[in-house]
């Protein structure tokens, strides 16, 4: 996304966004149609029924018209559950379906361009994998970051070294926007992630590959609300 000098007013932009949208980041599902045990739309619906509060549509390689059609369906479903709907990378799709936000990677459009396009009301998240990227995303004015992979995960095998929970603890001292941890998070290790300072979690395989997506989501949801009051901003 290139370099951008820190604008002193950017950290305050976070308060312009809907607080409920930020709070809903505490439990995010990132989609992957190639790893569903159940039909894709059914999996998303069941996950939302089980407690997922944000769905990020991340379906690489789909033709634009198919991605748009899928986004329309998910926008309706997430609205029915009063959950966030965020589109990965594709600003055009996010705007076309009136998504709650867009999530950027380091090959996406430059952050200032995206903010100009989506306006001040929609969320912009940024994927980060280390301290330098996290600080840069903060300086851009990101509303939140994802950080990881925290643990080994099939989607990143051989690509990125796990950060571990300790890196989240360090980041919390420098970053005051929501940190959503991802990568290999499941019911067995979510406690360590939240105790380490993460404001929320994002999962893929824990739900997408589950035999019962609703039950898988419900187990994680119950863990989260037991361990941490789901209020990213107070």
Annotated catalytic sites, by residue?
58, 127, 156
- Helix (H) or strand (E) segment spanning residue 145: strand 144-147
Three-state DSSP class for residue 206:
helix
Query: Which CA distances in Å does 153 have to 107, 160, 179, 207?
Result: 22, 9, 19, 13
Is residue 29 within 8 Å of 52, Cβ to Cβ?
yes
Peptide bond into 62 cis (omega under 30): no
How far is 162 from 66, CA to CA, in rounded Å?
Answer: 33
Letter string b/e over residues 68-80, b meaning 16 or more CB atoms within 10 A of that residue's CB: eebbeebbebbee
């Amino acid at each position: 996304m290139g370099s951008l000098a820190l604008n002193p007013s950017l950290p305050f932009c976070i308060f312009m966004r809907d607080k409920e949208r930020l709070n809903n980041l505490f439990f995010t599902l990132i989609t992957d149609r190639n790893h569903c045990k159940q039909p894709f739309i059914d999996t998303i619906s069941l996950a939302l029924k089980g407690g997922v509060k944000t769905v990020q549509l991340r379906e690489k390689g789909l033709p634009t018209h198919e991605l748009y059609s899928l986004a329309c369906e998910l926008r309706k479903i997430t609205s029915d559950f009063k959950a966030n709907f965020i589109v990965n990378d594709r600003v055009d799709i996010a705007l076309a379906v009136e998504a709650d936000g867009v999530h950027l990677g380091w090959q996406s459009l430059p952050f200032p361009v995206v903010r100009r396009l989506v306006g001040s009301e929609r969320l912009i998240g940024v994927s980060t994998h280390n301290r330098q990227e996290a600080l840069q995303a903060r300086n851009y004015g990101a509303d939140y970051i994802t950080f990881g992979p925290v643990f080994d995960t099939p989607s990143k095998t051989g690509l990125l070294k796990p950060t571990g929970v300790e890196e989240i603890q360090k980041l919390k001292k420098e970053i005051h926007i929501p940190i959503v941890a991802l990568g290999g998070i499941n019911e067995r290790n979510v406690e360590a992630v939240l105790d380490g300072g993460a404001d929320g979690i994002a999962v893929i395989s824990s739900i997408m590959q589950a035999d019962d997506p609703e039950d898988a989501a419900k187990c994680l949801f119950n863990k989260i609300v037991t361990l941490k009051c789901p209020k990213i901003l107070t």
